């Protein structure tokens, strides 16, 4: 049962919070003492920091969309391989909007509590590919 609840809540985080922008749902899906191990510079590694990050990401990429390519649940861990895409129409982490669309891959690991809420998160993003498609960094056209 734990793995099924972990999957359900992690999917809701992606589909409802990230894809649809339901920031209020974060308090239901993440523990109060949530730890974000992949927090960008300048943001606290907390549930409130995650809210700020998602709000900024959705502000920069209003058509932001993630697709779950693969999902693994084992014990208190949930792993997702995701495909993200969006058009940069707003400023993000000091970068001016490029107006370009990008598609990138991400890997995420979450540790869930006994109720299926996410207590910790680790993640990696293919930033080199994303930034090049957006017109920043090596390989930009």
Tell me which of 3.40.250.10, 3.90.1150.10, 3.10.450.50, 3.40.605.10 is the CATH number of domain 2-134.
3.10.450.50
84 within 8 A of 66, measured Cβ to Cβ? yes
Contacts 24+ apart (CB under 8 A), 40-45: 40/93
DSSP for residue 46: S
Domain spans, the chain: 2-134
Full-model pTM: 0.92
Quote the pLDDT of residue 137.
76
- As averages over each run of 10 residues, the pLDDT of the chain (141 residues) reads 89 97 97 97 97 97 98 96 98 94 98 96 96 83 55
Quote the pLDDT of residue 93.
87
């Amino acid at each position: 049962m734990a793995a099924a609840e972990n999957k359900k809540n992690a999917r809701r985080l992606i589909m409802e919070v990230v894809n649809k922008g339901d920031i209020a749902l974060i308090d239901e899906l993440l523990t109060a003492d949530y730890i974000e191990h992949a927090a960008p510079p300048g943001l606290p590694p907390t549930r409130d920091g995650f809210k700020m990050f998602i709000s900024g990401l959705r502000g920069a990429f209003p058509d932001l969309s993630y697709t779950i390519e693969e999902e693994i649940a084992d014990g208190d861990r949930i792993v997702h391989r995701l495909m993200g895409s969006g058009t940069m129409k707003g400023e993000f982490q000091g970068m001016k909007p490029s107006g370009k669309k990008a598609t990138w891959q991400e890997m995420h690991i979450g540790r869930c509590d006994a109720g299926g809420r996410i207590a910790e998160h680790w993640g990696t993003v293919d930033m080199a590919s994303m930034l090049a498609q957006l017109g920043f960094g090596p390989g930009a056209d």
